[in-house]
A and B are shown apart, each in its own frame.
Chain A
């Protein structure tokens, strides 16, 4: 689905990723992990077409994303950023309906099929009861779900999410990631999300991409645990990973 070819990117004068080659496949839930400032967001933004300052290629479904028009890219890839979006006076169903933009006409007129997809999207994030409410009266977790429903309405084979779990408490975190897993497995989407929650990543994802000083280690969860990368990168004198990793090996 997504192939990175000799992909290098930096931030200012710092190189964050150097000549990375990997791919993220259909029907796979991948967690992107790494220390603060390691380049997780930068990578996601580059794949989403928001940062073009990279060398190498990002190939989406066989095509270089640089060759895709914004409209075409929006039909292939949906992105949920860390930005907390709360638009007053806009009902949740209207927020989700904006996700249909790549398919609607110049004024955004919805057809029956669009309305159908919007209500499906709202249902699959479990927010049917909120369709008529506005986001300024909702919790962070609820808003996050609506923004994911919006990305779902975009009906794209690829979905990227930047730290979708960071405002959520533990039950909500697990619920959200299991929702992403269902989407990846049942709708055969390629879902890639960045996170700081190692436990969630190890327990719920198919593979893990670890940003490590310019390299990107992309392995299945079991291989990642065996490789020792996580212990090396995240351990501190106060924290032992042996126990956590052992517990998570299913």
Chain B
């Protein structure tokens, strides 16, 4: 068992590194992997190549790496906390909440005479507030969340509600801010600026660090809240930590990359299947690696065919979701 997990960790880490390098080498100008390595390690390579790698492509690859890890871990936390295999930041509407925060910030601020400066912290802050607000609503109806139908309907309602509010905002907005917002909604890993990266990296790192603290609570929560309490879990503080972590992870990524679906929902299932385990001491690092490598892969595909990354994650994620639903049916029937 241990050997299988160790083996998988090594393979996944190597795969992530390889995809990271490959992501740096693929683009308008193909750069050989040897030069990518040289540019990263300060070795010998053409100066323009080093510039392309370090100044342009590196930011996007780092964003893909972190966003994949962050969304997957957030999905895992929600699936275990709500004991619902279809939970995830996108399905639960956490991403929608973050989107609404961003919409209010980009579109709403000018309406009230404030300048919609794209200060990175402002966008991130708006997304965090939106994500946290949705989590609080979900927690309030939490006892009904075990029902898959309820969760899907709630998620749909959140998304529609957000859509409606955003439409009103768009109708009222000035052309300038409207354009900025529409581009944001398309979801892209490439629009993150260096100054935004300075917010994204620490926020995601803190989110992941908090996720590590929640490993033991998550293992207890596999049995449901009541069992977890009788085995010594402090439910309030654990839930608080989980919400903080998910808000930072899903909220920050949504703020800077737009809504990216399916990664958070699908990767925890892929990880559970790969490792054949539900122990979060394995699942948390496992989802970090699978999430990061899959989003890097999606980014590669989107670059090769110049398609939006959202479409790729959906096409990859949908079969996983279908598989989960079908398998779940056979368990309950």
Contacts and interface: CB of A to CB of B under 8 A. Distances in A.
Interface of A: 48-50, 69-71, 73-75, 77-79, 81, 83, 85-90, 94, 98-99, 101-102, 104, 106-108, 136, 154
Contacts of A48: 230
B215 interface: yes
A98 B277 contact: no
Contacts of A107: 215-216, 281
Interface of B: 213, 215-216, 219-220, 222-224, 226-227, 229-235, 272-273, 275-279, 281, 331
A43 to B, nearest CB: 15
Contacts of A98: 219-220, 222-223, 231
B226 A50 contact: yes
A73 B223 contact: no
Contacts of A77: 230
Given A85-B223, A87-B222, A89-B278, A108 B215 contact: yes
A74 B219 contact: no
A90 B232 contact: no
A226 to B, nearest CB: 36
Nearest to B80: A87
B222 A90 contact: yes
A90 B277 contact: yes
Nearest to A77: B230
29 contacts: A69-B234, A71-B232, A74-B231, A74-B232, A78-B230, A79-B227, A81-B226, A81-B227, A85-B223, A85-B224, A87-B222, A88-B272, A88-B331, A89-B275, A89-B278, A90-B278, A90-B279, A94-B279, A98-B219, A98-B222, A99-B231, A101-B232, A102-B231, A104-B216, A107-B281, A108-B215, A108-B219, A108-B281, A154-B231
A96 to B, nearest CB: 12
A100 B219 CA distance: 12
A136 B331 CA distance: 8
Contacts of A136: 331
Q: Which 6 A-B pairs have the closest CB atoms?
A: A74-B232, A102-B232, A79-B230, A90-B278, A71-B232, A89-B278
A98 B216 CA distance: 9
A25 B213 CA distance: 39
A151 to B, nearest CB: 9
A143 to B, nearest CB: 12
A28 to B, nearest CB: 21
Contacts of A94: 278-279
Contacts of A78: 230
A101 B216 contact: yes
B290 to A, nearest CB: 15
Contacts of B272: 88-89
B145 to A, nearest CB: 15
B223 A87 contact: yes
Contacts of B331: 86, 88, 136
Nearest to B236: A70
B230 A50 contact: yes
B231 A101 contact: yes
Given A50-B226, A89-B275, 6 more contacts: A50-B230, A70-B235, A83-B226, A85-B227, A86-B331, A90-B222
B95 to A, nearest CB: 26
Nearest to B238: A70
Contacts of B279: 90, 94
Nearest to A75: B232
Contact of B276 (A49, A69, A73, A89): A89
Given A89-B277, A136-B331, A83 B216 contact: no
Contacts of B227: 79, 81, 83, 85
B137 to A, nearest CB: 24
A70 B234 contact: yes
A25 B73 CA distance: 46
Contacts of A108: 215-216, 219, 281
Nearest to A105: B216
A106 B215 CA distance: 8
A75 B231 CA distance: 8
Nearest to A85: B223
A4 to B, nearest CB: 19
A51 B77 CA distance: 26
B229 A50 contact: yes
